[in-house]
Amino acid sequence: MKKKIGVYVCHCGGNISDHVDIEKVKAAVRDEADVYLVKNTLFACADSSQKEIGSDIENEHLDAIVVASCSPKLHLNTFRGVAQRAGLNPYNYVQVNIREQSSWAHSDNKTGATEKAILLVKAGIAKAKESEALQSLKIPAANVVAVIGAGVGGMKTAIGLADMGTEVYLIEKDFFVGGRTPQWGTVSPNGDEGAILTEKLYKEVVRRPNITLFTGAELVEKSGSIGNFDLKIALRPRFVSGNPSTEAMQRAAEACPVAVKDDFNFGLTNRRAFMLPAQGQFPQVPAIDQSACTRCGECTAACHEVDLTQEVQTITLHVGAFVVNTGFDPYQPAQGEYGYGELDNVITLPQFRRLMEMNESELVFNGKKIKKIAYIYCVGSRQDDDEGNTYCSRYCCTATSLTAVLAKKKFGNIINFHFNRGIRTYGKHELVYEAASKQGDIFLQFSLKSIPQIEKRGNKTYVKVKDILTAGKELETEADLIVLVTGMVPRKNELLAQQLKIPTGRDHFFNEIHMKLRPVETVIDGVLIAGTCQSPKNILETVNSSMAAAAKINSVLTKGELSLEPTLAKVNPAACDWCDNCSKACPFDAILQTEINGKKVARVNESNCKGCGMCTPVCPTDAIDLAGYTNAQVESMIDALAEA
Partner 1 sequence: MEIQQETCINESLYDVLVIGAGIAGEESALKLADMGYRVLLVEKEPSIGGKMILLSKVFPTLDCAACITTPKVSETARHPNITILTLTEVEEIVRDTKNRFSVTLKKKPRYVVEKDCTGCQECEKACPAIVNDQFQFNLTARKAVYIPFTIANPRVALIDIDNCLLCGACEKACPSNCIDFTQKEEQLKITAKSVIVSTGFKLFDPIQIERYGFGRYKNVITSMQMERQLAPTRPFNNILRPSDGKVPDKIAYVFCAGSRDHTVGNPICSQVCCMYSTKQAQLLMGALPMADVSLYYINIRAFGKGFDEFYEQAKDMGAKYVKGKIASITEKENGNLILRYEDIATGKVTEKEHDLVVLSVGILANPGITRVFKKERLETDALNYIRQTDLLQSPAITSIEGVFAAGTATAPMDIPDTIMSAGAAATETSSYLARLS
The residues in 455-494 that bind partner 1, with binding defined as CB under 8 A, are 468-472
Site for partner 1 in 31-70 (CB under 8 A): 42-43, 45-48, 50, 70
CB of 188 to partner 1, least distance (A): 6
Instruction: Decide: helix, strand or coil at residue 373.
Output: strand
Q: Which of residues 108-167 bind partner 1 (CB under 8 A)?
A: 152, 156, 160, 163-165
Residues counted in the chain = 644
Give the closest residue to 182 by CA, choosing from 284, 289, 259.
284
Q: How far is CA 330 from CA 152, 217, 348, 481, in A?
A: 16, 22, 9, 19
CB 103 within 8 A of CB 15: yes
Report the residue number, 78 or 310, with the smaller CB distance to partner 1. 78
Report if residue 206 touches partner 1, rule: CB under 8 A.
no
Report, in Å, the least distance between residue 381 CB and partner 1: 8
Q: Are 99 and 71 in contact (CB under 8 A)?
A: yes
Q: Is 434 near partner 1 (CB under 8 A)?
A: yes
Tell me if 545 contacts partner 1 by CB under 8 A: yes
Is residue 534 within the footprint of partner 1 (CB under 8 A)? yes
Which member of 331, 391, 419, 446 binds partner 1 (CB under 8 A)? 391
Cβ-proximal residues to 363 (8 Å cutoff; 6+ apart), any chain: 355, 356, 369, 370, 407, 410, 411, 414
Residue among 193 and 606 whose Cβ is closer to partner 1: 193
- Which is nearer to partner 1, 426 or 501 (by Cβ)? 426
Instruction: Report which residue type is found at 475.
Output: L
Output the smallest distance, CB 266 to partner 1, in A.
22
172 three-state secondary structure: coil
Least spacing, CB of residue 197 vs partner 1, in Å: 6
- Residue 313 or residue 439: which is nearer to partner 1 going by CB? 439
CB of 49 to partner 1, least distance (A): 9
The answer to whether residue 80 forms part of the interface with partner 1 (CB under 8 A) is no
Closer of 162 and 568 to partner 1 (Cβ): 162
Q: Rounded to the nearest 5°, which phi and psi values hold at 253?
A: -65, -40
Residues 143, 167: Cα–Cα separation, whole Å: 6
| 281 binding partner 1? (CB under 8 A) | no
Burial of 204 (0-12, 13-18, 19+ CB in 10 A): middle
Q: Which of 124, 121, 133, 122 is nearest to 87 (CA)?
A: 133
Out of 19, 236, 394, 418, the only residue in the binding site for partner 1 (CB under 8 A) is 394
Of 382, 410, 508, 603, the one binding partner 1 by CB under 8 A: 382
Query: Does the protein bind partner 1 through residue 535 (CB under 8 A)?
Result: yes
Q: Where are the alpha helices (DSSP H) in 298-339?
A: 298-302
SS3 289: coil
Segment contacting partner 1 by CB under 8 A, of 184-192, 236-244, 298-306, 315-323: 184-192
Question: Could you tell me if residue 531 is left (phi over 0), alpha (psi between -120 and 50 degrees) or otherwise beta?
Answer: left
Kindly identify the residues of this chain, within the stretch 612-641, that bind partner 1 according to CB under 8 A. Answer: none
Q: Could you say which of 544, 572, 605, 631 contacts partner 1 (CB under 8 A)?
A: 544
- Span of 108-116, 119-127, 475-483, 538-546 interacting with partner 1 by CB under 8 A: 538-546
Q: Which letter, b or e, does each residue of 51-60 get, where b requires 16 or more Cβ atoms within 10 Å of its Cβ?
A: ebbbebbeee
Contact with partner 1 (CB under 8 A): which of 2, 19, 75, 116?
Answer: 75
Question: Per-residue x/- mask for partner 1, residues 212 to 251, rule CB under 8 A?
Answer: ----------------------------------------
Give the residue with the Cβ less far from partner 1, 155 or 615: 155
**How far is it, in rounded angstroms, from Cα 226 to Cα 526?**
5
430 binds partner 1 (CB under 8 A): yes
Q: Residue 39 and residue 25: Cα distance in Å, rounded?
A: 10
Contact criterion met (CB below 8 Å) for 313 and 231:
no
Which of 438, 449, 457, 516 is the binder for partner 1 (CB under 8 A)?
516
Tell which one of 425, 493, 522, 633 touches partner 1 (CB under 8 A). 425
CA–CA dist 122, 118 (Å, integer): 6
Residues numbered 546-585 forming contacts with partner 1, rule: CB under 8 A: 546-552, 554-556, 558
Instruction: List, in sequence order, the alpha helices (H) in 61-177.
Output: 72-85, 110-129, 152-163
Total residues at the site for partner 1 (CB under 8 A)?
79
**Which lies closer to partner 1 via its Cβ, residue 338 or residue 391?**
391
- Contact pick of 390, 498, 504, 621 for partner 1 (by CB under 8 A): 390
